[in-house]
Structure 1
Amino acid sequence: MESFKIAFFCWESLHSTFKVGGLAPAATHLAERLALKGHEVHFFTRGEGNDATVNGVHYHYCLPYGGNVIEYCRTMSNMLVDAFRAHDTPPFDILHFHDWHVVEALHVLRDRNTVLSFHSTEYGRHGGNFGGWWEFQEISGKEWYGGYIAKSVTTVSNSTKTEVMWLYNIPEWKIAVIPNGIDPDAYRTPVDPGEVKKHYGIHPLAPVVLFVGRLTYQKGPDLLMQAIPEILAKRWDVQFLFAGTGDMRGYLEGMANGLPVQFLGYVSDTDHVRLLNACDLVAIPSRNEPFGLVLTEAWSAERCVVATEVGGLAENIDNFRNGIKVPVRPDSIAWGVCHLIDDPAYMQRLGKAGQRKVMDKFRWSVVTERVLGVYRDIPRAGRDEDLRDG
């Protein structure tokens, strides 16, 4: 069986002190699945302590420094390249870079077999606005340059593919769309929903709407908050749980005054799974969502979702078959929740349909094979590019 020696470059992982968002589980689980298939995988990232091997993946850590995020990522990239060179005998077959933070490492190693994965874009993270501040311009420039020099590019959805083609003029032939994978069994667990609700001071029979994600403009928690009064006008006993941290928390707490809303902050993986399995509905009100890991997590727990019709959410939800898609407006979000909240059997059918789609399309066994296909095609892609240039 063909075996690759693979280097991952990523600024976060699940096995370090630095975990920020969905990038950590996406990259970590992919690395572990590749190792499970017999490939030698080294993961170069930030972290404290000595190098370690976890679930078959060899982790190499550095502690960067810098006065701003651009300088910080520059020193991180240089440190990661130094660590890479110490393990490049025999040489790595594939170098896989994740997002803009490590593009300066990609620059140094650009003559190798390289893949750059766009998990999002700076433009998308700011809600589709072109920023005027210098960090936006610097990061966008790195995203353009990374897409230009990488031998192959992957995106997590067709909408992100279209976005990077439009923003950075990356040719279509260079891009493969590969969704984030998931282990559905990790998110389905037997719980007593009433007991979980009681833990949060909620009546066992009260319907619960769950938001999971960063409390940031991109994720739209304020849109859901604005929808709550309209939802309560139809169903007075609905309760709302917001799990996650972010810079909008103080603002949201002000909006929540007098409403049946709890902010749980950071929740452990165990509590996250219990909440998914105990809630009645998961709301995903994002303004921009390249993929939306919480969608496949909710589906894995057989939960129904109401989501805004953007990005990967719009692509992956089949409206009224495995979820409800609505425009990016508070009144539309309220309509979606109200359409479902009085019909538990309907919500259960949609949740089960979502779980079936996860099994067919998003299991790691499916996603990992598609990634390996990209790796196998890199030398051919390079030859085709040479022919076009000639």
Structure 2
Amino acid sequence: METYKIAFFCWESLHSRFKVGGLAPAATHLAEHLAAGGHEVHFFTRGEEEDADINGVHYHYCLPYGDNIVDYCRTMSNMLLNAFRAHDTPPFDILHFHDWHMVEAMHILRDRNTILSYHSTEYGRNGGNFGGWWEFQEISGKEWYGGYIAKAVTTVSNSTKTEVMWLYGVPEWKVTVIPNGIDPDAYRIQVDPGAVKKRYGIHPLAPVLLFVGRLTYQKGPDLLVQAIPTILARRWDVQFLFAGTGDMRESLEKMATGLPVQFLGYVADEEHLQILNACDLVVIPSRNEPFGLVLTEAWSAERCVVATDVGGLAENIENFKDGIKVPVRPESIAWGVCLLINDPAHMQRLGQAGRRKVMERFRWSVVTDRMLEVYRKVIAAGRDSGGGEG
């Protein structure tokens, strides 16, 4: 089997304190599985740490600066470009950029075998609003330019593929849909649900609904909070746990005054797994969701899911067979929850069906093979054109 020297450019990883969202696990685990397959993988990212080899991947860090996100990422691009050049002998076969953050580096290296993965878009992150502020316009411009100069583009779902084709004119032939992968066994652990619930002051027999994600407009936590009174009218003892941080936390806490809601803030991995496996239902109320790692994590733990009918959630859930999809409205979310909350056996069946789907479609071995096929095509095209190095 031919092996490659691969450079990842990504603004976050699991091996740095700079972790924001689902991009960190998606890129980190992909890099590790490529390395496990014999490829030489270098991961250029930000962090305060010293360069290190972790799980077979060579990590190279920088500590950027800037007065705003655009300047910060420009500095990061320049710093990591210097680190890249120091390791570019022999030359890298593939330069894989994740999202827009280092498009300046991609511009300098545009004659190489470059791939851009869209994990989301600025349009989607802002809830489908085009926005009028300059940062939105700058970031959207970089997303357009990255798709224009990349030799190939990947997206995490068909809906994101359609979004980048519509927003940025990326041609269909250039885009391959490759979902985020997951190790399902890492999310299925044995717990005593009652004991876990008691740690949060919840009766062992009370149903627990879990939200996991950033407390931002895109993720829709306010829609779930608004649905709670309707849910409680049907089942008075339901409890709600919100795991995650974000700019909406203060307003959400005010909205939830007097309701059986706990905002846990940042939750460490071990605690996250225990809550996930102890909860009765996972709710994903996103307004926009390119893929939705929470979905495959919940399914891996055999948890039942109620999710909004958007993006990757809409594509991957087969309604009433491995989850419940509902419109993006509080009353619809409440309806989906109430449909299930008094039927534990039904929830169990849906969760088990979800895990079977994860095993078939989303295991890292499947996803890594699909990404390698994109690499092969880009390398072959580069050889045919006489390019690919420089």
User: TM class by shorter-chain length?
Assistant: over 0.9
Residue 184 of structure 2 corresponds to which residue in structure 1? 184
Q: Cα distance, 1:369 vs. partner?
A: 0.1
Secondary structure of 2:101's match? Answer: helix
Q: Following the alignment from structure 1 to structure 2, what is the Cα–Cα distance between the partners of residues 354 and 312?
A: 14
Letter of the 2:317 counterpart: I
Q: Following the alignment from structure 1 to structure 2, what is the Cα–Cα distance between the partners of residues 380 and 86?
A: 25
Q: How does 1:230-269 map to 2 (within 5 A)?
A: 230-269=230-269
Q: Cα distance, 1:49 vs. partner?
A: 2.7
Q: In the alignment, is residue 157 of structure 1 matched against residue 157 of structure 2? A: yes
Q: Cα distance, 1:380 vs. partner?
A: 4.3
Q: How does 1:218-297 map to 2 (within 5 A)?
A: 218-297=218-297
Residue 83 of structure 2 corresponds to which residue in structure 1? 83
Secondary structure of 2:102's match? Answer: helix
Q: Following the alignment from structure 2 to structure 1, what is the Cα–Cα distance between the partners of residues 226 and 48?
A: 41
Q: Following the alignment from structure 1 to structure 2, what is the Cα–Cα distance between the partners of residues 384 and 376?
A: 12
Residue 194 of structure 2 corresponds to which residue in structure 1? 194
Q: Cα distance, 1:379 vs. partner?
A: 3.6
Q: Following the alignment from structure 1 to structure 2, what is the Cα–Cα distance between the partners of residues 3 and 249?
A: 46
Residue 299 of structure 1 corresponds to which residue in structure 2? 299
Q: Following the alignment from structure 1 to structure 2, what is the Cα–Cα distance between the partners of residues 176 and 139?
A: 22
Residue 207 of structure 1 corresponds to which residue in structure 2? 207
Secondary structure of 1:170's match? Answer: coil
Q: Following the alignment from structure 1 to structure 2, what is the Cα–Cα distance between the partners of residues 275 and 293?
A: 16
Q: In the alignment, is residue 137 of structure 1 matched against residue 137 of structure 2? A: yes
Q: Following the alignment from structure 2 to structure 1, what is the Cα–Cα distance between the partners of residues 379 and 13?
A: 28
Given that 2:210 and 2:281 are in contact with CA atoms closer than 8 Å, whether structure 1 keeps it comes out as yes
Letter of the 1:273 counterpart: L
Q: Following the alignment from structure 2 to structure 1, what is the Cα–Cα distance between the partners of residues 324 and 309?
A: 9
Secondary structure of 1:101's match? Answer: coil
Distance 1:5 1:382, change over 3 A: closer
Given that 1:99 and 1:120 are in contact with CA atoms closer than 8 Å, whether structure 2 keeps it comes out as yes
Identify unmatched segments of 5+ residues in structure 1: none
Letter of the 1:327 counterpart: P
Secondary structure of 2:53's match? Answer: strand
Q: Following the alignment from structure 1 to structure 2, what is the Cα–Cα distance between the partners of residues 144 and 316?
A: 27
Residue 317 of structure 2 corresponds to which residue in structure 1? 317
Q: Following the alignment from structure 2 to structure 1, what is the Cα–Cα distance between the partners of residues 51 and 16?
A: 10
Q: Following the alignment from structure 2 to structure 1, what is the Cα–Cα distance between the partners of residues 41 and 161?
A: 26
Residue 98 of structure 2 corresponds to which residue in structure 1? 98
Given that 2:43 and 2:59 are in contact with CA atoms closer than 8 Å, whether structure 1 keeps it comes out as yes
Given that 1:152 and 1:381 are in contact with CA atoms closer than 8 Å, whether structure 2 keeps it comes out as no
Distance 1:112 1:385, change over 3 A: closer
Given that 1:323 and 1:351 are in contact with CA atoms closer than 8 Å, whether structure 2 keeps it comes out as yes
Given that 2:94 and 2:379 are in contact with CA atoms closer than 8 Å, whether structure 1 keeps it comes out as no
Q: Following the alignment from structure 1 to structure 2, what is the Cα–Cα distance between the partners of residues 14 and 102?
A: 18
Distance 1:170 1:201, change over 3 A: same
Residue 41 of structure 2 corresponds to which residue in structure 1? 41
Letter of the 2:95 counterpart: L
Given that 1:26 and 1:180 are in contact with CA atoms closer than 8 Å, whether structure 2 keeps it comes out as yes
Q: Aligned Cα RMSD in Å?
A: 1.1
Q: Cα distance, 1:381 vs. partner?
A: 4.7
Residue 115 of structure 1 corresponds to which residue in structure 2? 115
Residue 16 of structure 2 corresponds to which residue in structure 1? 16
Q: What CA deviation, in whole Å up to 9, does each residue of 1:82-137 have, x standing for no partner? A: 00000000100000000010111111111100100000000000010111000000
Given that 1:244 and 1:266 are in contact with CA atoms closer than 8 Å, whether structure 2 keeps it comes out as yes
Q: What CA deviation, in whole Å up to 9, does each residue of 1:250-280 have, x standing for no partner? A: 0000011100000000000001111110000
Residue 326 of structure 1 corresponds to which residue in structure 2? 326
Q: What CA deviation, in whole Å up to 9, does each residue of 1:345-382 have, x standing for no partner? A: 00000000000000000000000000000000014456
Q: Percent identity?
A: 83
Letter of the 1:177 counterpart: V
Q: Following the alignment from structure 2 to structure 1, what is the Cα–Cα distance between the partners of residues 327 and 39?
A: 43
Moved more, 373-382 or 176-185: 373-382
Secondary structure of 2:128's match? Answer: coil
Given that 1:148 and 1:170 are in contact with CA atoms closer than 8 Å, whether structure 2 keeps it comes out as yes
Q: Following the alignment from structure 2 to structure 1, what is the Cα–Cα distance between the partners of residues 37 and 227?
A: 46
Q: Following the alignment from structure 1 to structure 2, what is the Cα–Cα distance between the partners of residues 161 and 294?
A: 20
Q: What CA deviation, in whole Å up to 9, does each residue of 1:206-236 have, x standing for no partner? A: 0000000000000000000000000000000
Q: Following the alignment from structure 1 to structure 2, what is the Cα–Cα distance between the partners of residues 59 and 166?
A: 35
Secondary structure of 1:100's match? Answer: coil
Q: Following the alignment from structure 1 to structure 2, what is the Cα–Cα distance between the partners of residues 384 and 2?
A: 17
Residue 175 of structure 1 corresponds to which residue in structure 2? 175
Q: Cα distance, 1:17 vs. partner?
A: 1.8
Instruction: Give the TM-score normalised by the residue count of structure 2.
Output: 0.98
Letter of the 1:242 counterpart: F
Given that 2:93 and 2:379 are in contact with CA atoms closer than 8 Å, whether structure 1 keeps it comes out as no
Q: Following the alignment from structure 2 to structure 1, what is the Cα–Cα distance between the partners of residues 384 and 229?
A: 57
Instruction: Give the TM-score normalised by the residue count of structure 1.
Output: 0.98
Identify unmatched segments of 5+ residues in structure 2: none
Letter of the 2:274 counterpart: R
Q: Cα distance, 1:50 vs. partner?
A: 1.5
Q: What CA deviation, in whole Å up to 9, does each residue of 1:37-76 have, x standing for no partner? A: 0000000000113210000000000011111110000000
Q: Cα distance, 1:317 vs. partner?
A: 0.1
Residue 366 of structure 2 corresponds to which residue in structure 1? 366
Letter of the 1:216 counterpart: T
Residue 339 of structure 1 corresponds to which residue in structure 2? 339
